[in-house]
Structure 1
């Protein structure tokens, strides 16, 4: 494969080099082609961070590339093979390594995330049905989760991977439940504690595998992507142990259309260390024998809108001086947000909310 092959592949999905349309790419360094041929997605992303190429609409570019299946032509480059071997032979999400994603990404700076996210600091997909703003979409998502869990005052709720505490605070404030949230991020737990005064909520800095107690409801939003295939059974056993016999568990996670043996090398290196996405078959296998499947809801197309809003907010926040970051870091964030938006738009990625119960809801579960 050579430079002309790359140009031909891009042309097959209607992307031109140095073309005039928003999804066309502008190449500033001709070494780009060799770097992509050698390092695939890792080389493409690092070259963008270093200013070797630009694109007015990265989301549109990636939607075309992924919809056309071009990424499959680079499945066996050295970085990809290295990731496959790492995930096959090592537990990259062991308790000793669980904090790595927090240090690398979630602790990047609360000021960045405050500028980028909505007022409740929701770093997961909003629910856009019938609403027009990020704030509305995230509030609607929070309410939907509470209704799916059939919350009642006085219930004990565990939030696994609680982020900055927005969901827990919403549940405590509007539904009168007692919330325990757990995260491996120091920045997140500090923020949650500072913003939950007067609410029945406590925030723990620890790994989920060390939790004890019993809870009427358990919820996990945007954390399962960090659990890892080798830990799925332990994760589900832990939830089952902590959940009351008549309880409900809601799992909110990004999902892949087929089982993956590695993660995108660029995402692994620069954004989410040691993460990997579940597939339907992998989720089904770890749930079987432990839970009854009550509901499976896919609204992955809504993540496209959410990510584009985050990218717009990031650009606006940086211009307004709400946070400071280098040019390389700025390009890194925008590449991450808009490439992911393109992936969801292409329906290459999904967003699932799954409701599980230990023995099945008597009379049947009703989705609100």
Structure 2
């Protein structure tokens, strides 16, 4: 059955193509049939199978819709039911969820990411390197928010401060960044030292201050579908009537209440990828949708850049992380890249306003030497 399913996706066992699977342990077959994507990832971590290009293997599987041909196990059906009954992203649990991933170690992320440590999709339209592509994304975000010197900006899920630092340096704004990770907050404060940036460890639900603009870059995936309405209500409460809110999030083609089982178990606990319908339902009481952009093809390229940098720096990481972690992390990066390549996953930037921008919304052209102009003025 497994051989037949894989063959339908153009994947051969022990074949010569880069996406073919080489099986080292026969337990691979019954495990995948019984537990689907969870077993696929776990068996890779255990070394039961390999592929020269795991990203292409996953790409082929998803393009052939193999995930739809293997029935969900009882355990998965149970987890789906529980995700609909309980809020696994309530404030106390949210801190635990975030820390399991983002507190793995600043050394890991500093070696894998760009020089600004931007852990969200880059914008490669006019860039050839990861550093340049991330700066393009940060600048595009600032322009979409119509940032002007002196504005107060809220950065929800600020990470290691890449957006806060860029916006403060290049657009002369004051940024309040919030995160639930102590490790992120400590390094973000160090990297933003001397700038008009305030980094706080807090849950988004505790924020009540007013801001001229709000950015949420790669945070909404951790909110959970039961909290989408509360998240948008908080953003509206904290945004001035003439302000803009930019939501940058991974998106799915269909509405679900939980993430992929393997990804949820090993990488991002209790995450949920929102759909257009779920986002639309959440914003309808609070915002006007001004602009919606999909640049998901760039996440494939971003993930593969992270994959290369992680492995290029493995010698600096191997004393702290074992080989099972390396296989887990490689599977995470490559499988996600394959999902974006198959167009099963999307990346959206959505610009929202409280009452609609008078005369219509526009994205300002990129300015040259913005920081110099601010300093001169």
Which TM-score band (shorter chain)?
over 0.9
Q: Does 1:200 align with 2:213?
A: no
Q: Please name the residue that 1:185 is paired with.
A: 181
> Among 221, 226, 249, which residue is 1:225 paired with?
221
How many Å apart are 1:28 and its aligned residue? 0.2
**Structure 2 CA distance for aligned equivalents of residues 40 and 304 of structure 1:** 23
Match runs of 1:125-136 below 5 Å: 125-136=121-132
2:287 is the counterpart of 1:278? no
Aligned counterpart, 2:75: 79
Work out whether 1:288 is the aligned partner of 2:284.
Answer: yes
* Secondary structure at 1:99 match in 2: helix
Residue 18 (structure 2) pairs with residue 22 (structure 1)? yes
Unpaired segments of 5 or more residues in structure 1?
none
8 Å contact kept, 1:80–1:262: no
**Of residues 241, 245, 267 in structure 1, which corresponds to 2:241?**
245
The number of residue pairs the alignment matches comes to: 364
1:192-222 per-residue CA deviation (whole Å, 9 max, x = no partner) reads 0111111000111010000121000000000
Uncovered stretches (5+) of structure 2, i.e. residues with no partner? 365-377
Q: Contact 2:146 / 2:363 at 8 angstroms: preserved in 1?
A: no
Partner of 1:138: 134
Alignment partner of 2:211 out of 201, 210, 215: 215
Aligned to 1:31: 27
Equivalent-residue separation in structure 2 for 1:17 and 1:99 (angstroms) = 42
Post-superposition Cα deviations, 1:80-99, rounded to whole Å, max 9, x if no partner, equal 21320121111010011011
- The answer for the alignment partner of 1:326 in structure 2 is 322
**Cα distance between partner residues in 2 of 1:88 and 1:268:** 15
Moved over 4 A (4+): 320-323
SS of aligned partner of 2:313: helix
- In 2: Cα distance, 1:82 partner to 1:267 partner: 17
Partner of 2:297: 301
The TM-score normalised by the length of structure 2 is 0.95
Give distance in 1, aligned partners of 2:331 and 2:5. Answer: 21
Q: Does 1:69 align with 2:65?
A: yes
For 1:46 and 1:169, how far apart are their aligned partners in 2?
38
Partner of 1:60: 56
Task: Tell whether the 8 Å contact from 1:126 to 1:141 is kept in structure 2 after alignment.
Answer: yes
Query: Closer, same or farther in 2 for the Cα pair 1:358/1:305, shift >3 Å?
Result: same
CA RMSD of aligned residues (A): 1.1
**What TM-score do the two structures reach when normalised by structure 1?**
0.97
